[in-house]
Amino acid sequence: MSEPLRVAVAGLGTVGSGTVKLLQRNAALLERRCGRAIDIVAVADPDRRDRGFPVDGYRWYDDGIAMAREAPVDVVVELIGGSEGPARRACEAALAAGRHLVTANKALLAHHGEALARAAEAAGVALSFEAAVAGGIPIIKTLREGLAGNRCSRVYGILNGTCNFILSAMGEGGREFEDVLSEAQVLGYAEADPTFDVDGDDTAHKLAILTTVAFGCRLDFAAVHVEGIRHVSPVDLAFAEELGYRIKLLGIAALTDRGVERRVHPCMVPASAPIAHVNGVFNAVVAHGDFVDTIVQVGRGAGELPTASAVVADLADIAAGRTASAFGVPVAALEDVPAVAMGGRRGACYVRLMVLDKPGVFADIAAILRDNRVSMEAVLQRARAPGEAVPVVMITHEAEEAAVIRSLREIMALKTCVEEPRMIRIEPF
């Protein structure tokens, strides 16, 4: 047996505590599978409270940056969180000291991943981050290694369990967004401040990383189009069901002849699509390769134990000597591929209007769509109340996004339109 792999864990929150528990509980299994033991040598957290597992024999630091710089270890595991501050400085200190780095920090990677990967290459150590995307689903390893012989054209998925739980519960019970969000907070599925999740930022960080790993292009978080789920209503979910769709918040990256699309927004997906049936707090990732065709991975995308499982998978690879370039290729080999602006997307859309039921209203709407070269495939109106506001739902044929947006702005300017139009893109998966 080789010498043990010596590990330091920075941050003993939910994932950090889970990582320590897993390493303690399955120590013998890991040693057998890796050919050497994985030993925790040091931990860092300013809060020294009892977390329900033994820490005897570990060197305890209050400062993760000092631990990364000074502890006698081979690997630093950063689980502090945040794109700047102590997390970033601890990662930079670990790489500067020539230590392998494992992190679950998607925000840090989305903003500084290339710089960290470059530092890791210069130091001859690994930068590993399986836990940063989709929790327990091994999508980074799948894209980087399992699909190494494929040219990937598209990767997309449900990457935030909080949003998926909210949309699932709204659809099943016809409940309002705020009501379900409150339940998610009570159950521990949503933070006290849920902005990061429900406004799409968490999904966008993960998608930026997936895009680079899948396509070998430069990491460009600023190029991700981001929308959240606050504007999705029970009415939209009910109409979607009637039309044969489900609504999911998806992160979508596609390699096209014009460049790379990177977008996060609510989507209507056919009820027959596998991803339409992934509900609750589960995540799902779908990848398309030229030889493998389509693969689908489903699992728990967050939480103490699934995410800890992904962290330890990276440690196991390092212990066994299985390391690869962070993004599948060296940083210098990442390609500059143009970003496709959202206005250039072509596709069908669901549009819901609230308009006064008066003669000539629909003729005005049809004229606006005609002038912008947007055609309608179907129209639904379930109630008539002459002189009062009624919902009108339209499904458009495939059209350029910029033309649809122009149309909606002009419709909103009509005196008979009483609410901002709601648009949800339809994805024909």
List the catalytic residues: 206
Classify 308 as helix, strand or coil.
helix
Environment class of residue 21 by beta-carbon count within 10 Å: exposed (0-12), middle (13-18) or buried (19+)? middle
List phi, psi (to 5°) of 427.
-110, 120
Task: State CA 34 to chain mean position distance.
Answer: 30
d(CA 146, CA 381): 48
CA distances in angstroms from 284 to 145, 182, 220, 298, 389, listed in the order given: 19, 24, 23, 4, 38
Classify 217 as helix, strand or coil.
strand
Number of C-beta neighbours around residue 218 at 10 A: 17
Alpha helices (runs of H) in 26-70, residue ranges in sequence order = 27-34, 64-70
* Vertex 70 angle, CA 65 and 73, to 5°: 105
User: Residue 411: enclosing H or E segment and its boundaries?
Assistant: helix 401-412
**Dihedral sign (CA 310, 311, 317, 323):** positive
DSSP 341: P
DSSP 78: E
- Reference 31, options 422, 253, 312; nearest CA is 312
Paired residues of 285 in beta bridges:
157, 297
